[in-house]
Amino acid sequence: MRILTTPSLAGEFEQMWKTLSAGKPAQMSTAWLRSQHGRIADTHRYHFLVDDDGCEALAAAACMIIDRNQTDVSFRLDSQLLAKGAGEQSTLASHLGDSIGRTYVCAIGSAHLPGVVAKDHLPKGALSHLISHLESEAVANGAQAIAFFNFEESRWPELEAAFTETDYFKAVFAGETLLRLQGVDGFSGYLERLPRQRRRTVRHEIRIFSEQGMELSSDAIEHLTTEAEDLIVAHQERYGWTNVRGRIRNRIERTQEFFPGMEFLFARDATRELVGIMGLVAEPGGGSTAAIYGSRRNGAFVYFNMFYYERIRRALIRGCNELRFGTQTYRAKVARGCEVRPLHTFFKVFGDCRGMTELVAHRNQMEMDSWQNDQEAT
């Protein structure tokens, strides 16, 4: 086995990734990776583990170099470890910034999925060989740490074993929310699975949406209007984001370039004013991922009707067994039938990591306690 490395997905490398990612979520596709290239990090590397002849790809890893000055903190290890006040009770907090600076990150931008794809059956030690190579790449690129983000429990047993054997820390920075739909008979069947009070809430939100004259329509379009862009920007700003417009415009342009003709849902009120928009990327198995979203608060529960109920209806019609709703806002998602699964980040610090075990344990507990509190409150 040997490893090939490329700074971009093109030619034979694009085809190898397509083969390895076939049937996997859309956010693991070459189209998605290319749409994210250069958005979060300036430097990307794609590593392919191939057989001795170089004819067959066995596994691959999408990596990027994340520096301490990154404004997007999604993959900044120091920021994630100290999130939710975890560092306040750790002796590591005072020198964490010096211990973890540049990080070699294996992940996929704007997704909560691992940056690794692989064949179902691999030669013994294949993934350990890939990890060892990535560690060498990290050191060669001046990284002080290496991190593998967003692994669901028990999905990668060989990889987890390799991490354990080589002294990686195992952190939980987020949870994926999943709605199980297998065996559900239509939207009414989905409602019947909810506890009575939650079922009443959903029906109330759907009724108000209808009574206020809201209408949903869908279309495959090539370009969004200024009105749609303004709505998405206002939605982001409402949740505390700053310097939004340039970032949103970039995301819209990238998404439409690599997913041409993608389906958009539009919500308009009784006066035909646009109050909600959602761009959907189709998933294998009949589901969808909301790649672009924005709504205006008007008392008609536009967000819930678009982001949850319409996606659920469409997924059920298409025979989808499981729908992903992403991280954060756990209370709203659990109240609508989702379960929260931990997403594990495996990382190694090449320098001083005194107190790291305590910090990781504390951070993990805080994260999972927050989910528990949200579930108990619903």
Contact assessment for residue 64 and residue 43, using Cβ atoms and an 8 Å cutoff:
yes
pLDDT tens-place string over residues 203-221: 999 999 999 999 999 988 7
> At residue 188, does pLDDT exceed 60?
yes
Helix, strand or coil, per DSSP, at residue 34:
helix
CA-to-CA dists, residue 378 to 175, 297, 372, angstroms: 17, 22, 10
- What does CATH list as the number for 2-175+342-377? 3.40.630.30
Dmax over Cα atoms in the chain, in whole Å? Answer: 65
Residues β-bridged to residue 98 = none
> At residue 40, does pLDDT exceed 60?
yes
Q: Does domain 183-320 have CATH number 3.40.630.30?
A: yes
pTM, entire model: 0.93
| Domain range annotation of the chain | 2-175+342-377, 183-320
Contact assessment for residue 65 and residue 143, using Cβ atoms and an 8 Å cutoff:
yes
Give pLDDT, residue 196.
Answer: 96
- Average pLDDT on 22-29 reads 95
pLDDT tens-place string over residues 54-105: 789 999 999 999 998 887 888 999 889 887 665 565 555 556 656 788 999 9
Q: Are strands 145-152 and 103-106 parallel, antiparallel or unpaired?
A: parallel
Give pLDDT, residue 330.
Answer: 92
Based on the number of CB atoms within 10 Å of its own CB, is 88 exposed (0-12), middle (13-18) or buried (19 or more)? exposed
Nearest to 308 by CA among 328, 292, 288: 288
Give pLDDT, residue 95.
Answer: 61
- The structure tokens 């211990």 sit at 99
Contact assessment for residue 1 and residue 52, using Cβ atoms and an 8 Å cutoff:
yes
For residue 106, give the H/E element and its range. strand 103-106
Percent of the chain at pLDDT > 70 equals: 95
> At residue 344, does pLDDT exceed 70?
yes
Decide whether 2-175+342-377 matches 183-320 in CATH topology: yes
CA-to-CA dists, residue 288 to 191, 283, 311, 376, angstroms: 20, 5, 7, 28
pLDDT: which is higher, 291 or 243: 291
Give pLDDT, residue 87.
Answer: 57
pLDDT: which is higher, 375 or 342: 342
Give pLDDT, residue 323.
Answer: 96
